[in-house]
Amino acid sequence: MSVPQKSDAPKKKSAPSKAAASKGGETHQQAAGDGVVLTTNQGTGISDNQNSLRAGGRGPTLLEDFILREKITHFDHERIPERIVHARGSAAHGYFQPYKSMKHVTSAAFLADPKVKTPVFARFSTVAGGAGSVDLPRDVRGFAVKFYTQEGNFDLVGNNIPVFFIQDAIKFPDLIHAVKMEADRGYPQAGSAHDTFWDFVSLMPESLHTIMWAMSDRAIPRSLRMMEGFGVNTFRLVNSAGKTNFVKFHWRPVLGTAAVLWDEAVKISGADPDFHRRDLFEAIESRNFPEFEFGFQVIDQKTADALPFDVLDATKLIPEEIVPIEMVGKMVLDRNPDNFFAETEQVAFCPSHIVPGIDFSEDPLLQGRLFSYLDTQLSRLGSPNFHELPINRPKCPFANMQRDGHMQMLTAKGRANYEPNSIDPAGARESPSVGLRTAPIPTEAAKVRLRSESFADHYSQARLFYRSVTPQERKHIGEALTFELGKVDIPAIRQKMLGHLNIIDKTLGGTVAEELGMTGEAIAAKPSVMPIDLDLSPALRLYGKYKPTLKGRKVGLLLAPGFNLKLKNALVAAINKEGAAAAIIALKVGGVEDSAGTRHPAEMALRGSPSVMFDAVAVLAGPAGDKALSATPDAVGFLMDACRHLKAIGLSGSPELAGKAHAVGPVGITDIGAAKDIAAFIGFAREGKVWARESA
């Protein structure tokens, strides 16, 4: 497999002729001819808005890039005090404990001793919506963890998708402007299904790999406890001997991965906008602590050089079949925040917060993030002293000569506020032996605004992902693309996207075109590097990768008058044995009578508890109860939606309701006539979704 050699970035317009330039008083706008010349805020024309200034095509980004700094600084300060991205967040305290010493690859102390528990604070978030948006839009999810290590704070700031939309941080403001609410109308909120986003994507094919993930079920997770996390960027590990390796960071949920269907997501957002936040909070309150394994993909230089893509390209992943993930420890989230604002809102994550043993790569997206996140915190929290807020403060000693400033909370003592000094011999000093030492990576190269040719293949991994996932996931990707592009008003944008989809997979492109009623209308994409067929990676699948389980899930039990109490108790016991929770629902929250006439309280009323709130459902009733439920639209809708959303369904004493809801015959619907039938219902519920029903 050959390494890509060209970039398919948009071609630049030619410079104005000498004759045009000689006209007195001509402005940049006039010189552009058919368009306005892009400039800095000082009026300086910009020749390249696609690439940061770096030392060589694959070198580090240079601090002197004033265009990058101006653009990102302005972007970081656009909103106060809410985060511009990742505003809608939920968080929890916990700890991390390694399985074994990782001294052979990193000198990081928190990874050296399996006996040591390192405190952590994890924050999960959506990206595009504001703080008041809903939990379940189709969106990438942030997955950020602050490790309070004995050597200082380490912030691993990632997402639930392993790749990103752009290769260079200079494009981040453009990406977020495009996906956020449209500038002239202020909508849509927390949604990518609109013209500006898809216009950007159609012109930036480097986004296509992430688009495949964002249109998959990964973008609508069942729970924050049931999604994977990724560091996205490539970092370096450095051991005590100074040996370095590239590394990709991974989080794997012990509960396994799960997602909802799009129709479920829409209805959950209406029934409970705080669905994910509530789920995380209640799980911890009930001591069902979320757990995530921490994994490394360690890549030496020889392996990196042999890859058919660039290890520094954030739009690419390294398949596990090429470099397996080594699980190195576990994070347990065991305490909810005491105060949402003081902790969840004020926590400040920065990729630049590292500890000895962890270092940066020259990934141009990461290089820009090292500046952007710190600048964002200065704007959002209003002071360079944000590190003194309790949620951000290191739990190890820290000392330096930084003083004063807005919101200073520490009282520094003594005369010496500079280093070196002879006035305070016991004061803080640099320490070559224990301080962070940057890996000595050679960087000599010409200063250029250039995208490395090894970054130029934008289609192969998009194709890899689409062809590696399950048939159900491919079907849902096609449906998501159809929905999103169907919301785009400008036909040319849809046509360009269809051209890109045809390159990724002709069947996908053809299906979406047919569903849009645009067969034959695609504008052909012309990649400068033709995609290659990479070996499929089943590890990229969302479904079928983890052992089936009902642990951590919730089963809705709808009880109607005349239900069998013995059967109900046996069903609840079986659910609890699986590590799941049973939620008791009745027509009225005041309760319902069993077959012996004894009244039992309910936890929730049917009207406020649609089946989308649960992973599986069961309906228990007697003749009178069945009649009452079948005459209630909420009950019919409860069961009909459960069937449509592929949930395991258990039924007892409710034939009339089942008939009205068309819940008769399909796979995964169990007639629970006795306790022995419960095992069959539980078996379907463990699977999460009854995919055979969707196929049928």
Q: Which residues are catalytic?
A: 86, 159
CA distances from 71 to 26, 57, 178, 543 (A): 25, 21, 15, 40
Strand, helix or coil at 156? strand
The answer to whether residues 457 and 6 touch, using CB atoms and an 8 Å cutoff, is no
Per DSSP bridges, beta strands 358-360 and 235-238 are antiparallel
Q: Nearest CA to 75 among 142, 156, 175, 193?
A: 175
Residues 336, 288: Cα–Cα separation, whole Å: 12
Residues 612, 358: Cα–Cα separation, whole Å: 43
Residues 259, 197: Cα–Cα separation, whole Å: 24
Token pair 């490539």 is at which residue? 234
Q: Is 312 exposed, middle or buried (0-12, 13-18, 19+ CB in 10 A)?
A: buried
Within 8 A by CB and 6+ apart from 176, the residues are: 75, 84, 85, 128
The answer to whether residues 428 and 418 touch, using CB atoms and an 8 Å cutoff, is no
Residues 562, 625: Cα–Cα separation, whole Å: 6
What sign does the dihedral 121-126-128-132 (CA atoms) show?
A: negative
The answer to whether residues 150 and 109 touch, using CB atoms and an 8 Å cutoff, is yes
Q: Phi-psi bin for 127: left (phi > 0), alpha (psi -120 to 50), beta?
A: alpha
Q: Nearest CA to 139 among 196, 209, 86?
A: 86
User: Within 10 Å of residue 655's Cβ, how many Cβ atoms?
Assistant: 15
The token duo for 62 is 């240079």
SS3 of 491-537: HHHHHHHHHHHHHHCHHHHHHHHHHHCCCCCCCCCCCCCCCCCCCCC
Phi, psi of 491 (to 5 degrees): -55, -35
In angstroms and rounded to an integer, the radius of gyration of the C-alpha atoms of the chain is 28
The answer to whether residues 175 and 198 touch, using CB atoms and an 8 Å cutoff, is no
**Residue type (1 letter), 307:** L
Q: Nearest CA to 360 among 231, 230, 246?
A: 246
The H or E element containing residue 574 is helix 565-577
Q: Nearest CA to 254 among 216, 227, 274, 286?
A: 227
The token duo for 567 is 């059967």
